[in-house]
Amino acid sequence: MSEPAKKAEEGQEPKRFTIDSNQALIWTLQKAEQKRQEILGTKRMMEQEVEFYQSKIKNLQAELQNFNDIILQYAQSQMEADPKWEFKDSPFGRIVKSKPSTSLQVADKQALINHYKGTEFVKHVEEDKLQWGKLKKTLSSPDDEHVVNADGEPIDDVKVVKKPAKIELKHKNAKGNWTTKED
């Protein structure tokens, strides 16, 4: 172990270098510049590593997308032959078909606020605030085109949004849950 390290370990400060001449000042400036250059070099190397790995990740993502496209093409052909086809027999992935669904969406928020003003569905703060989550529970769409409230009154300020069925490729995430999201 070096002498300064021993002193530091024992709780004593190592003796600091002191400048006692112009020659010592030049030497110290040179050493400081060398450390600056070393820091810059290390930063450049880190940037190059980041660029390298980002490029590698981009290539891997392209390959993953290619595999997913091939899988989904196969799944589409299987589902055309058998609409109920699903695949859950692999620990590496599943292919499932989501069911078509509809949801309600506000078309004109202010008109809806005006329509329900004075009811439990509109909360007045500094300005009226629609309690959409609460209101949505009381609305329905009997024909998947028009929206009515609990009394059967048509509500023109809400529209029905249809989502078609879609094929989803699922894989296990780091927590072991099946997901469609990439990590």
- Phi then psi for 57, rounded to 5 degrees? -65, -40
Q: Are 133 and 119 in contact (CB under 8 A)?
A: no
The pairing of strands 167-172 and 93-97 is antiparallel
At 143, list the tokens: 């024909």
**How many angstroms separate the first and last alpha carbons of the chain?**
46
| pLDDT at residue number 68 | 92
Q: Whole-prediction pTM value?
A: 0.48
pLDDT at 82: 93
Taking alpha carbons only, the member of 150, 157, 182, 148 closest to residue 168 is 182
Backbone torsions φ then ψ of 77, nearest 5 degrees: -65, -35
Residue 13: predicted pLDDT: 73
The DSSP bridge partners found for residue 129 are 123
Digits of tens for pLDDT over the chain (183 positions)? 555 555 556 667 777 889 899 999 889 899 989 998 999 899 999 999 999 999 999 999 999 999 999 999 999 999 999 999 999 998 899 999 888 888 888 888 888 888 888 888 888 767 778 888 898 899 988 888 889 888 888 888 888 888 888 888 788 888 888 888 775
Q: How many CB atoms lie within 10 A of CB 107?
A: 15
